[in-house]
Amino acid sequence: MIHGSSAPVESDTWQTLLARSVTDPAALLDRLQLHDSLLDPARGAAQDFPLRVPEPYIARMRRGDPDDPLLRQVLPIGEELLDQPGYVTDPLGEQHANARPGIIHKYHGRLLLVVSAGCAVNCRYCFRRHFPYDDNNLSTAEWQEALDYIRADASIREVIYSGGDPLAANDKRLAWLTREIANIPHVMRLRVHTRLPVVIPQRVTAGLIDALCGTRLPVTMVLHCNHANELDPSLEQAVHTLRSAGIMMLNQAVLLRGVNDQLEDQIALSERLADSGIMPYYLHILDHVKGARHFLVGDDQAIRLVGQMLTRLPGFLVPRLVREIAGERSKVPLVVQPVE
């Protein structure tokens, strides 16, 4: 970027905001005027999986409310350290589907590329919280191998940028990769699974649009918003920019106890998404990942909740309720009937 010498104060770049993310539990509690009693558990659980949350996301949390739905997604708490039978470090068996560095090829026609190991935010319920990302930081030679893998398999119609968070990679890397993929004739679609614009809307720059939209491939972006409060005007503006560039916008959420498990939460989320130009796509049943048991919403409650959504919302604003089962050929939908 070129700055004139007399430029007014520049707003922070996404890289600065990313680097300045809050990682110290005491700083987060202080910032939100929360009670010190939350500190010891937060420090304990953060040893297992660090706290990490960028400022623009914190700005959408309510002060003084330990039950804030955005805070609950990122604040480490003591319950994470309880041993819960059946909650394991790799519930989806991805460490096995990860046959080559950087590639997860589980589903027909679609291939997931781990473009960047890092995330801008550490979500406490994440099924990848124990994933060995360090093994997935690719060298240039390994990138070539990943591209060779796609070239050699004509059944791959869609490439999905994933992570970590793929938008933690810089625009230059994304532009190079997208050009290489667009040069593979059998690839017809590009998809980006990201939470970064949600927590740092400033990530949506002209350079990013050029990197993603500069080829023949149509682009779909699947955001990850769990609560209507995440959709503030700065995110809506970023989504508007992405849509104006022709990117189709979808959302996937995770059903989380104490965050979005009430009917009104889900209706508000779908309505806010629609108003922002984003279609609800998936609502995921929590994966049984170690340390996340306290977020679980049981199947019966989940099916009833989405059944109630069916009678309150137009069909296209009701997400598909799905679960991932290791070894299955796709995500598995739960059968939902309308509930008054």
Ligand X SMILES: *Cc1c(COP(=O)(O)O)cnc(C)c1O
List of residues contacting ligand X (CB under 6 A): 104, 106-107, 110, 112, 160, 330-331
Region near ligand SF4 per CB under 6 A, out of 23-31, 117-125, 233-241, 265-273: 117-125
- CA separation, residue 248 to residues 184, 222, 279, 290, 297 (Å): 22, 8, 9, 34, 30
Residue of minimal CB distance from ligand X? 112
Q: What does residue 189 show for φ and ψ, rounded to 5 degrees?
A: -145, 150
**Residue 136 contacts ligand SF4 per CB under 6 A:** no
- Supply the minimum distance, in Å, between the C-beta of residue 163 and ligand SF4: 6
* Closer Cβ to ligand X, 107 or 240, answer by number: 107
The binder of 243, among ligand SF4, ligand X, none, by C-beta within 5 to 8 A per type, is none
Considering only residues 32, 104, 126, 204, which one is a binding residue for ligand SF4 as defined by CB under 6 A? 126
The whole-angstrom separation of Cα 320 and Cα 254 is 11
**Residue 122 contacts ligand SF4 per CB under 6 A:** yes
Q: Are 223 and 195 in contact (CB under 8 A)?
A: yes
* Closer Cβ to ligand X, 74 or 160, answer by number: 160
The whole-angstrom separation of Cα 218 and Cα 213 is 8
Q: CB burial class (10 A; 0-12, 13-18, 19+) of residue 259?
A: buried
**Residue 116 contacts ligand SF4 per CB under 6 A:** no
Q: What does residue 128 show for φ and ψ, rounded to 5 degrees?
A: -105, 15
- Supply the minimum distance, in Å, between the C-beta of residue 79 and ligand SF4: 18
* Closer Cβ to ligand SF4, 251 or 308, answer by number: 251
Q: CB burial class (10 A; 0-12, 13-18, 19+) of residue 207?
A: middle
Considering only residues 128, 191, 272, 290, which one is a binding residue for ligand SF4 as defined by CB under 6 A? 128
The dihedral through the CA atoms of 20, 209, 159, 292 has a sign that is positive
CA angle, residues 22, 28, 32, in degrees to nearest 5: 135
The whole-angstrom separation of Cα 338 and Cα 10 is 51
The interface with ligand SF4 within residues 150-189 (CB under 6 A) comprises: 163, 165
Type of residue found at 106: K
The binder of 113, among ligand SF4, ligand X, none, by C-beta within 5 to 8 A per type, is none
- Supply the minimum distance, in Å, between the C-beta of residue 73 and ligand SF4: 8
* Closer Cβ to ligand X, 21 or 226, answer by number: 226
Q: Which helix (H) or strand (E) holds 272?
A: helix 263-275
**Residue 117 contacts ligand SF4 per CB under 6 A:** no
The interface with ligand SF4 within residues 250-279 (CB under 6 A) comprises: none
Binding site for ligand SF4 (CB under 6 A): 119, 121-123, 126, 128, 163, 165, 195, 224
